[in-house]
Structure 1
């Protein structure tokens, strides 16, 4: 524990996370807090699953982070843009020619990254569901990964392994293709058994497993704009792209704003639409996954907060409110800093 923090500075935060673990029937949870580039608090609770002989959650435990993975896709795209291979305002029709050009229209990579294309891709076809840049939608990382591969000949995993994971010696981050003792199972409340989600290592599927520490380092890499221990891993401009608002001006002001798939705190956004807590300062950015895993970066405090969990379908089965929960998490992080 950093000596500048009281011993119980994060007591209310960890109590809350433990309550959420029990309320959502997760088998394990983790919190890691970084401040001024140091881990100042970490807490581990539970086991990898509920079956007999389950491993206890520890610093090596890797959770499936689900939608958190889209920020990894976003960084790979930002690298390509910084190197002049792609342009943020390139039209999708220039790259994915197998889809109807008229339906794609003026949709750009910017619209994909900021979740306002109004397009639905299904069974090899594309359909328009709302006017371009007027609403927000689900994430489409697989389309971004497809475009990236077409222009570079490299997968998301290829690019990030070479440029980030290997240089930083991150051994607990990666798209999982086979089982491992450090993998935390998902507790899917619609099933009676724990599951692991395996897939390809391309980098476009929902099988990215990360330890809490390395997810905190991921946030801290963005916070420091690519600099780690005085060494620049990637150009600063890449992180300025990914973590500042890139949503088009046509998006209604009350809707959430995005960088490269990061939710960015913007003062105009209606709180009912926002995953970021009301106490988080403007300019904070965050990503949340379906299992409850999240990474929150708070530049004003020079801090990163990570929460890991492994419960799926808690809303459908228990009525659990993920939005209120993640807002509360951010607010408790801020109150922990203020009260310390």
Structure 2
């Protein structure tokens, strides 16, 4: 084993980039070999193409192997895509890692990290706001800060009214995620992008991630990250595997469990995937799933019961409809055991995917 490792290392150093690059990709397999129907996947793609305006990419991972992948022209496998608020789940991961390294506590007061930015007379609610409240979107705000009009985002966040006791009022709040990013930078001396690079991005083979910064040089946190579709799928697979990757525990399993569990209630509509509870910058879904998601239909959906991950990029105004197609078409496609190979159905699936690449 050691000699094989040395050979691979030498080949990488000598410039055998193709061989080394292949190691960073998830393994591929036929849908049927992993207990998924090719015909059902094709029906999903056709329905998504018809009902979601507009799809950009889709990747399905089952039992750790990619069984289907599709890009709608002009998108492509090697083209990074804006994640919008799906970035939040990566910021949460950075917080979890910093906590595991003893750099902060989930129950630390937010003001602890920004003594120079605190208002002269901080309210009781602001003083009681904790890192946990930022993670769960329960910071206590009634309205979200319009930070684009501010020169210093952290200072503006702390000056914004906090009418609710933190921990009691769910208010989706992108500036709260920015504050998490700022806290990570305070305690590590690195942007979230730089901090995650050796701890997450490099081990997963995620190359050259880009994350936009605030005017203060802080990774925006709540959005601004650009990744490829397969990078999104890898991130979901890591969480599905409870933080373990190639035999190494990249993220503590305890953090995975807390981050993806229902920490707070955010509604009661059983038909809405936005009313199933919220974790630490992860949404709970119907069907026992959880997800990171972003504006216009960016999704990293993890289905533990099916041992599957669905990565989607899109530009749609109806994200619930986008999820409905997943539940309606893909859930019935999963089977507990491998299926007989279906070459005719697989050829039809491949033809449909090929057509997407050239139809726009």
Q: Evaluate the alpha carbon distance shift between residue 118 and residue 17 of structure 1 in structure 2; reply closer, same or farther with a 3 A threshold.
A: same
TM-score (norm 2): 0.70
1:96 positional shift: 2.6
Q: Are residue 335 (structure 1) and residue 332 (structure 2) matched?
A: yes
1:45 to 59, 72, 76: 72
Unaligned runs of 5+ in 2: 1-29, 151-155, 269-274, 340-360
Partner of 1:262: 282
* Structure having greater relative contact order (Cα 8 Å, sep ≥ 6): 2
Q: Supply the distance in 2 between the matched residues of 1:205 and 1:336 (Cα, whole angstroms).
A: 33
Q: Evaluate the alpha carbon distance shift between residue 253 and residue 211 of structure 1 in structure 2; reply closer, same or farther with a 3 A threshold.
A: closer
2:195 to 140, 144, 159: 159
**Contact conserved, 1:18 with 1:29, CA < 8 A, in 2?**
no
**Contact conserved, 2:204 with 2:234, CA < 8 A, in 1?**
no
1:129 positional shift: 4.5
Q: Supply the distance in 2 between the matched residues of 1:138 and 1:64 (Cα, whole angstroms).
A: 20
1:256 positional shift: 4.2
Q: Are residue 91 (structure 1) and residue 109 (structure 2) matched?
A: yes
TM-score (norm 1): 0.74
Q: Are residue 59 (structure 1) and residue 77 (structure 2) matched?
A: yes
Partner of 1:70: 88
**Contact conserved, 1:89 with 1:109, CA < 8 A, in 2?**
yes
Equivalences, count: 280
**Contact conserved, 2:48 with 2:322, CA < 8 A, in 1?**
no
1:12 positional shift: 2.3
**Contact conserved, 2:88 with 2:223, CA < 8 A, in 1?**
no
Partner of 2:25: none
User: Deviations 1:104-135 (Å, cap 9, x if unpaired)?
Assistant: 03221111111111225454222124443333
Give runs of aligned pairs for residues 167-186 of structure 1, distance below 5 A. Answer: 167-171=203-207, 173-175=209-211
- Secondary structure (helix, strand or coil) at the match of 2:210 reads strand
Partner of 2:306: 301
Larger Rg: 2
Partner of 1:8: 39
1:338 positional shift: 5.4
CA-atom RMSD, angstroms?
2.6
Partner of 2:342: none
Q: Supply the distance in 2 between the matched residues of 1:82 and 1:331 (Cα, whole angstroms).
A: 39
Q: Supply the distance in 1 between the matched residues of 2:58 and 2:236 (Cα, whole angstroms).
A: 14
- Secondary structure (helix, strand or coil) at the match of 1:9 reads helix
Give runs of aligned pairs for residues 194-233 of structure 1, distance below 5 A. Answer: 202=219, 204=221, 206-233=223-250
Segments ≥4 residues shifted beyond 6 Å: none
Q: Supply the distance in 1 between the matched residues of 2:245 and 2:160 (Cα, whole angstroms).
A: 42
Q: Are residue 288 (structure 1) and residue 293 (structure 2) matched?
A: yes
- Secondary structure (helix, strand or coil) at the match of 1:127 reads coil
Q: Supply the distance in 2 between the matched residues of 1:230 and 1:220 (Cα, whole angstroms).
A: 14
- Secondary structure (helix, strand or coil) at the match of 2:302 reads strand
**Contact conserved, 1:81 with 1:87, CA < 8 A, in 2?**
yes
More helix by share: 2
2:58 to 9, 27, 31: 31
Q: Evaluate the alpha carbon distance shift between residue 172 and residue 35 of structure 1 in structure 2; reply closer, same or farther with a 3 A threshold.
A: farther
Q: Supply the distance in 2 between the matched residues of 1:222 and 1:290 (Cα, whole angstroms).
A: 21
